[in-house]
Amino acid sequence: MTELTLYSGRPQGDDALGRLKKELDTYDLLDQLNIPYFRVDHPAVDTIAECSQIDELLGVSICKNLFLTNAQKSKFYLLAMPGDKKFRTAVLSKQIGSSRLSFAGPESLLELLDLTPGSVSVLGLRNDPSCRVQLLLDRDVIQGQKYFGCHPCINTSSLRLATEDLLNIFLPHTGHSPIIVDL
């Protein structure tokens, strides 16, 4: 990966040119809510394994984000968990009382959160005003964690924001109440 730089806040001037509207809208909302954040711009990353240099510069690990659905495709879940944890469907299904969870398709991801595979982020919940997606947070990504790492709805930038701001400002603003799970 090329040389990376840590920035405070949104891209400015020429650096903002060519960015997707959904990324800029994410910064607008964070700024509107007075949530400070640090940002690293980088080549597109599609896996947690590709994030190690980004994590080091941000000082926090980017969460693994999985977009899931039940067998009937009537309930949708966004799971944020530590990148180094193994996802066990049966363990999660039992905790949330849903049988046969599977990965939801890219069409549902785009329709419900305006996100694409590789860019799944808790910040995408800003695009779900009817709260059709239930947020699931693994206890390890929030308990005792000062910071939360995620993408700003695109996988060419990564952010670090205070976990407290995510839980007490951002999520209440979107109307989403997380279910805390232990994986």
Rounded to an integer, what distance in angstroms lies between the CA atom of residue 118 and that of residue 43?
A: 12
DSSP 3-state percent helix, strand, coil across the chain (nearest 5)? 35, 25, 40
Instruction: State residue 179's pLDDT score.
Output: 96
Q: Quick one: tokens of 56?
A: 């080091």
Instruction: State residue 47's pLDDT score.
Output: 74
**DSSP string of 8-47?**
ESS--GGGGTT--HHHHHHHHHHHHTT--EEEEE-S---S
Instruction: State residue 80's pLDDT score.
Output: 96
Rounded to an integer, what distance in angstroms lies between the CA atom of residue 13 and that of residue 97?
A: 48
Instruction: State residue 126's pLDDT score.
Output: 97
User: Domains in the chain, start-ordered, CATH in brackets?
Assistant: 6-181 (3.90.960.10)
E strand intervals along 11-156: 37-41, 64-69, 76-81, 102-103, 133-138, 147-150
Mean pLDDT by 10 residues, the chain (183 residues): 86 92 97 97 82 88 92 94 90 90 95 94 97 97 93 94 98 97 94
Q: Quick one: tokens of 63?
A: 């969460």
Rounded to an integer, what distance in angstroms lies between the CA atom of residue 79 and that of residue 41?
A: 24
Instruction: State residue 1's pLDDT score.
Output: 57
The pTM of the full predicted model, rounded to 2 decimals, is: 0.93
**Number of Cβ within a 10 Å radius of residue 130:** 7
